Homo-oligomer: A and B are copies of this chain.
Amino acid sequence: MEFAYLGPRGTFTEAALRRLPAAKTATAAPMSSIFEVLDAVRRGEVDAGFVPIENSQEGTVTITVDELVGGDPLVIVGEVVLPVTFVLASEKPVAEITTVASMPVALAQVRKYLRRELPNAVVHQALSTAQAAQRAADGEFDAAVCPPFAAEAVGLPVQAFDIGDNPNAATRFVHVVRPTAPPEPTGNDITSLVVYIDYDRVGALLGVLTEFAIRGINLTRIESRPTGEGLGRYAFFLDCTGHLADARMGEALMGLRRICDDVRYLGSYPRDHSDAPVPPPAGLSDADFADAAAWLDRLRGTGA
């Protein structure tokens, strides 16, 4: 089995991929953009792709979502949530550092640390944390802000660990494949969707959420985006608790199919970092749905 992932080697994506059970015995090819990863999956050059989809600093990785929504269908069959940690990598002790480099997003995440510990250092921008580490190792700058494995890769000592301002920072990655039936339900799954509705009708979004709420399905993520097809038409990216195979999820999806302009299914897959399976609310188990269906059949057949 072969994975393509967003490279280069030595980034958070590769670190996350190592945690994916399905990738344990797979070969993994770094590619230079999310587009290339997903195209390689679509064309069948690899079996699976692995790309970031959301991070706590920048929110949704729009390129990933847009690629999943447009073009030939792909489905998500797994996720990895990786804590994001930064180090200050340098040959010099902190007190002697006068220049520091990193990519803008990483600098934004250590802003408070730099202001407090290196208030007089000159800050330089680099294209990636790996590049910053390399340039610091080459002596172009005194220090780099980068993940631990990037410092290790270039042989730079770490002067300070966990310097990120947000101790809960994390990035979420997804394992995508060509369309296929979802993995077996685990009792703690996510289903990802994109729905298209017309905002000019008051309450269209309320209608979508009602389909979930009456069936005890929670949303763990929602994000609207204009579709670019004219005023008032919106797409919503939704992550819902539950699995495509659940009776209640099935009925909710059928409801969306009927009331939305369009629905695109992006996959059902186990939650990473999930605790014990969450039982469905009272009256909403598969057995409850089966009981109700049998009752309806009896009514239609015999009236009692």
Contacts and interface: CB of A to CB of B under 8 A. Distances in A.
Contacts of A199: 218-220
A251 B57 CA distance: 33
A276 interface: no
A190 to B, nearest CB: 13
Contacts of A303: 73, 75, 179-182, 265, 267
Nearest to A249: B296
B202 A254 contact: no
Nearest to A236: B222
28 contacts: A33-B108, A59-B60, A59-B223, A59-B225, A73-B303, A73-B304, A75-B303, A75-B304, A168-B228, A169-B228, A180-B303, A181-B303, A199-B218, A202-B213, A205-B209, A209-B209, A210-B214, A214-B214, A214-B255, A222-B222, A222-B223, A223-B223, A254-B289, A257-B291, A257-B295, A258-B291, A259-B283, A265-B299
Given A222-B236, A257-B292, 11 more contacts: A56-B228, A179-B302, A181-B301, A209-B209, A210-B210, A220-B224, A221-B224, A254-B292, A258-B284, A258-B289, A265-B303
Nearest to A182: B303
Nearest to A220: B199
Contacts of A125: 127
A116 interface: no
Interface string A267-297: 1000000000000010110001101110110
Nearest to A58: B62
Interface in A131-178: 166-169
A43 interface: no
Interface of A: 33, 35, 56-60, 62-63, 73, 75, 104, 108, 111, 125, 127, 166-169, 179-182, 199-200, 202-203, 205-207, 209-211, 213-214, 216-226, 228-229, 234, 236, 244-245, 250-251, 253-255, 257-259, 265, 267, 281, 283-284, 288-289, 291-293, 295-296, 299-304
Contacts of A213: 202-203, 206
Most B C-beta atoms less than 10 A away, residue of A205, A217, A236, A284 = A205
A53 B93 CA distance: 38
